[in-house]
Amino acid sequence: MFERPVERQMPGGSAPPGDNSFKPFPFPFPPPPLPDYELLRRIGHGSYGDVWLARSATGAYRAAKIVYRATFASNRPFDREFEGIRRFEPISRLHDSQVDILHVGRNDGSFYYIMELADDRSTGRQIDAAQYSPRTLRSEIARRGNLPWDECLQIGLSLTMALENLHAHGLVHRDIKPSNIIFVNGVPKLADIGLVTQADETVSFAGTEGYIPPEGPGTVAADLYSLGKVLYEISTGKDRQDFPEPATQWDGMPNEPAWREFHEVLLKACEPHVIMRYKSAHEMRADLALLQSGKSVKRVHLLEKRLTRLTRIGCIVGVISVLTTVGYFYQQQQIRQVQRLVQKETRERERAEDALLKLQIQKADELFRADDSSAGLASLARLLRHDPSNRLAAQRLFSALSRRTFALPVVGPIKHDREILYTQFSPDVGTPVPDDP
């Protein structure tokens, strides 16, 4: 979001081979007026447009990204990028680790979207418009080098959950990298969703060199590969191009085994062969949750490989079982033994996920005890949106709504110039949205 992608055209440079969607334009491009927002200064730019520090009519600071039609060779890729934003906007607020899209607008020469603003890298939420510099994962790496183990693990858990939510709605990010991960109130969030598109859509080659898998971007597996490279950089302090070389500073450290286990997750996420990678963000998050509970991911992966190998051997033995009956039954016994071990590890993984859920429920309870009922209700509601079958979250939410007393927002009379047949409410601001006939 806050840097120009290296694989796109620079002023006076050339576009990537085979990408005909991009058209060079001079910087800075004159911004269009945005209703109810004052553009203060440009804080970033990319191949398709600019990011501005903006101030709303109420004085709130926001980030405004403006994407220009003039940067595209035709209407089709421009419309595609707008469609990606339009599809992402309603789900952007379903998870804490996705940047909230607050408004989307369009005119003849551009479209724009308003986002929550990243923390300042020095002053957090105290924003000085003249000195503002966004806090991103890239700025954290530059300032601190490799991050502590528990912080790397928490960032991994947060971003895999965000990707799980994105992928569940049929969308992929396509450009996950440290500069596209911002911090809002200290929470890491996936940002620069300008390249978000449908997972099954054929699009031009996009992304950033070093974070793109061998088969190219635009799939669930490609997003997980990119995230693995990001986690590699923050855990080792090395460049993504050094992967899979581990960090030398791990040697002899008290938590060296924990770092090695974390590295095992990255090795699977960034496998060159897509078939060997994690199949989903949920699967990758489950391994990270297993690490959080103190279990060994390396052991699980070893058992999975043994099971695959023994299953193949079992198939071969099955073909020649008439000649090698004893060998066949031995292999079957080995397979059952490994299956039992894998099932045991799976149960432990599920217990780790249950522990993670309890931590999230505990966080909501802490918000209630801190007399922040609105935040507690929002946290429980997000858990239910993520998993409607979550009985524990549902019980806590029902209990909070029925037994706690807290102020509800006052809403004025609802007026409309036409007969209202059906009304739904936006979950972020409680604004009634009449259904078009």
Is residue 7 within 8 Å of residue 209, measured between CB atoms?
yes
Is 302's pLDDT higher than 90? Answer: no
Sort 260 into a burial class: Cβ within 10 Å, 0-12 / 13-18 / 19+: middle
Least confident of 152-161, 223-232, 369-378, 399-408: 399-408
Q: How far apart are CA 208 and CA 16, in angstroms?
A: 11
Backbone angles phi, psi at 172, to 5 degrees: -130, 155
- Long-range CB contact pairs, 405-414, < 8 A, 24+: 406/373, 406/374
Show the domains of the chain with their CATH numbers: 37-292 (1.10.510.10), 314-403 (no CATH)
pLDDT in tens, 14-55: 344 444 544 444 456 788 999 999 999 999 887 678 899 999
pLDDT in tens, 14-24: 344 444 544 44
User: What is the per-residue pLDDT for 191?
Assistant: 86
Alpha carbons 107 and 82: distance in angstroms, whole number: 11
pLDDT at position 234: 96
Edge to edge, the sheet with strand 101-106 lists 37-45, 49-56, 61-68, 110-116, 101-106
Give per-residue pLDDT as tens, 164-212: 999 999 989 888 999 999 999 999 999 876 555 555 454 445 668 899 9
The CA–CA distances, whole Å, from 63 to 29, 79, 123, 124 equal 17, 22, 17, 15
For residue 231, what pLDDT band results from cuts at 50, 70 and 90? very high
Please answer whether residues 159 and 298 qualify as being in contact, where contact means their C-beta atoms are separated by less than 8 angstroms.
no
Buried/exposed code over 190-221 (b: 16+ C-beta within 10 A; e: otherwise): bbbbbbbbbbeeebbebbbebbbbeeebbbbb
**Tens digits of per-residue pLDDT, 81-102?**
898 899 899 999 888 889 999 9
d(CA 387, CA 393): 9
Number of helical H runs and strand E runs in the chain: 10, 11
Is the pLDDT at 121 greater than 90? The verdict is yes
pLDDT of the residue at 358 = 79
Q: Minimal CA–CA distance to 179: which of 229, 218, 110, 242?
A: 229
Which of 315-329, 331-345, 397-411 bottoms out in mean pLDDT, i.e. has the lowest? Answer: 315-329
Q: How far apart are the first and last CA of the chain?
A: 38
Q: Which residue has the higher pLDDT, 67 or 340?
A: 67
Mean pLDDT of the chain: 80
